[in-house]
Structure formats: structure tokens, C-alpha cells
Amino acid sequence: MQYIVRKIVVILFSSLFSISLCYADITLPAPQTKDGMSLFESLTKRSSTPGPGFPNGQISDEELSTVLWAASGLNRGTTGWTVPMGTGKQPYVRIYVASEKGTFLYEWEGHYLKEINNKDIRADVGLQNFVKRANYVLIFVTDSAAFNNIKEEKANNFGNIAVGAMSQNVYLASAALDLSARYIHAIKPDVISQELQLPSDNKPIGLMLLGK
């Protein structure tokens, strides 16, 4: 009997340990799509927050949800997004979200965060020390699988243009929500690729810092 009890305890402990290692996806609240600041007012407020002393206040789940939706969320039906995509393709730039709780992939289809790992990589992905101050660091990465049948030079152009549109939407949404934002092109692509376990032909392009 004592052996059976010990066996049960071992099994329960092993199960709990396994659960603790499982990745946890995060369901995002619905983004704000009505009311708020006008487009023209947000254009007048759009700016890059200086890096040194970048605010490190906490951003709410609702605010993060709205920013990610603005960057590449669905805004009509099942094939319409908040940013233009070449040749009618689905978003071919993926957004990874680095935070103190771990690193996640934004899934526009379903509007949720898929956990990649439970590591805080904010201090490792950019060349400037202030990158780690941001509450969230958005990492833009081209999705090579979306570029089949497209020549490399054209695919690179598509990816850069998409990041430009996505980062501008992040700026405008941040202005409307009174958040701080800054685009960073000085990145560590090799470190990012390793930490995110990216396919060899996926290309990190830039970062977006979010703070409050």
C-alpha cells in the first residue's frame, strides 16, 4: 500500500512538472475599433519616443491587442487586413512579441498570442541598451513560406514595404492610445533567429518598442 501511495505521488509530481513546462497561448481581448482619437489628430501626435529614458510603464492587454490588430489584424471578412499585402497574399511579415513573461507570435487569424518560449529576450535583440526598457518589443520577421514562387529581390521589397506600413500603423495606434513607440532597425538578426527558432530563410527586419 505504501509503495502504491509513493507511486501515485511520483506520477502526480511528474504530471505537474510537465504541465509547468507546457507553453501557454494568450487570448487577447477584442481590439478597440471605435471612438477614440481621430486619424488626423493621431497623425499630428505620431512621433518616435527618444530611446534613452524610454518609458517602461505597463501596457494593458487591451492596448496591446489594439496595437497588434492595427499592425496586421483582420478588418473585413477573412481576407482583409489593416495593412496592404502584395498579390493578395496573407500577411507575410510575422510579429513576435517579446516581454518579461516570454516571447510570443501574434496570430492574426484568431487574434491571439502563441507562446514561443518563456524567456525574456528584450535585452538581446537590439544593439542599443535602451531596447530592454520597453514593456513590449515587437519583432518583425518575413515569413519565407509565403514567398514561394516570388523571386528573392521582389520578396525582400514586399517584406520591407509591409514592415513600413505595419510600423506606421503601430505609431498611429500608439499615438491614439497615448503610448510611446519607437522603430529600431539596429538589430541582432542572428540572435533573433536563434531565440525564435526561425527557419533559415526567414529574415528579421526590425523592432518596435512599446512603452507607457
Specify the pTM: 0.87
Q: CA–CA separation, 85 vs 20, rounded Å?
A: 38
Which pLDDT value is given to residue 23? 62
Quote the percentage of the chain above a pLDDT of 90.
Answer: 76
Please tell me what DSSP assigns to residue 126.
B
Mean pLDDT score across all residues of the chain: 89
Decide if pLDDT at 86 tops 90: no
Greatest mean pLDDT among 2-6, 121-125, 158-162 lies in 121-125
Which pLDDT value is given to residue 121? 98
Mean pLDDT over 32-59 rounds to: 94
H helices of the chain, in order, are 2-21, 39-45, 61-72, 152-176, 189-196
Q: CA–CA separation, 20 vs 27, rounded Å?
A: 19
Domains with residue ranges and CATH for the chain: 23-211 (3.40.109.10)
